[in-house]
A and B are shown apart, each in its own frame.
Chain A
Amino acid sequence: MSGERLAYRLVQIGFAAVLLLAWWLVSRNGYVSPILLPSLTSSVHEFVLLLESGSYWPDLRVTLYELVMAFMIASVTGCIVGYIVSRSRFSVRVFDPLFAGLYSIPAILLFPLYVLFFGLGPGSKIAIGATIAFFPIILNTIAGFDYVDRSYITAARSMGASGVQMFWSVMLPAAFPVVLAGLRMGFILAFLSILGSETIASLSGLGHKIVSFAESMDPAKMFAYIFLAIIIAFLLNATVTLIEARVRRGHG
Chain B
Amino acid sequence: MSVGPGLARLGVIIGLVILWEIGVRLYGDPLFLSPPSQVVGALWEILGNQPVMRALGTTLYELVVAFALAVAVGLPIGLIIGLQRFARGSFYPIVLMLYAIPQATILPLVILAFGIGPPSKIAFGFTHAVFPIMVTVVAGVQGVKPSLLVCARSMGANRSQIFWNVILPHMIPSFFTGMRLAMTGDLLGVLLAELYVSQAGVGHFTRLFTESFEPAKLFALITCLAAIAVLLNELCRRAERRMSRWHE
Contact = CB atoms under 8 A, between A and B. Distances in A.
A222 B109 CA distance: 9
A161 interface: no
Interface string B9-22: 10011000000000
A82 to B, nearest CB: 16
B26 interface: no
A36 interface: yes
Contacts of B210: 112, 115-116
Interface residues of A, number: 49
Contacts of A222: 108-109
Contacts of A191: 102
Interface residues of B, number: 48
Contact of B12 (A15, A95, A111): A95
B90 interface: yes
B56 interface: no
A215 B226 CA distance: 30
A97 B9 contact: yes
Interface of A: 4-5, 7-8, 11-12, 15, 35-36, 90, 93-95, 97-98, 101, 104-106, 108-113, 115-117, 191-192, 195-196, 198-200, 206-207, 210-211, 214-215, 222, 225-226, 229-230, 233-234, 237
14 contacts: A7-B89, A11-B91, A94-B12, A106-B188, A112-B207, A112-B222, A116-B32, A195-B104, A196-B188, A196-B192, A199-B104, A199-B105, A229-B102, A230-B102
Given A36-B112, A225-B105, 14 more contacts: A8-B90, A11-B91, A94-B9, A98-B13, A104-B233, A104-B237, A106-B188, A109-B191, A196-B107, A198-B104, A199-B104, A199-B107, A200-B192, A234-B100
**Closest 9 A/B residue pairs (Cβ):** A214-B108, A11-B90, A93-B5, A196-B104, A8-B89, A112-B206, A104-B233, A8-B90, A195-B104
